[in-house]
Amino acid sequence: MKAVMIVFSQAHTERVEYMFSRLAIKGFTFWENVQGEGSKTGEPHRGTHTWPDMNSSVLTVIEDDKVQDLLIAVRKLDNRNKEAGIRAFVWNVEQTV
């Protein structure tokens, strides 16, 4: 089991939802209105007057073999619009109840 955390500009919300439904990923936890800045490229998403954009983030715990597909999908989405910004991070899951 892996945990994938995807952080994306709010502009991508519907696309991310579509992505999940296409990949048949059911379980997730979703945070709305999170702030952040990319390490290399992209504008800050801070919800301020200067940087009004905001991010959302979703954390999903999935089977190992699905991670590839998800990451591919994320990249496809990123390709579609570099400006908006989407990043995915993968962890190992030690235990679940």
Interacting residue ranges for other proteins, rule: CB under 8 A = 14-15, 18-19, 22, 67-68, 71-73, 75-77, 79-80, 90
Residues 75, 78, 82, 85, CA torsion sign: negative
Between residues 53 and 73, which has the closer beta carbon with respect to other proteins?
73
Least distance between other proteins and beta carbon 36 (Å): 22
Between residues 54 and 67, which has the closer beta carbon with respect to other proteins?
67
Least distance between other proteins and beta carbon 47 (Å): 24
CA 30 – CA 12 distance, rounded (Å): 13
Q: Encoding tokens for residue 7? A: 């952080």
Q: Encoding tokens for residue 57? A: 């983030």
3-state helix, strand, coil in the chain (%, to 5): 30, 30, 35
Between residues 35 and 82, which has the closer beta carbon with respect to other proteins?
82
Least distance between other proteins and beta carbon 37 (Å): 22
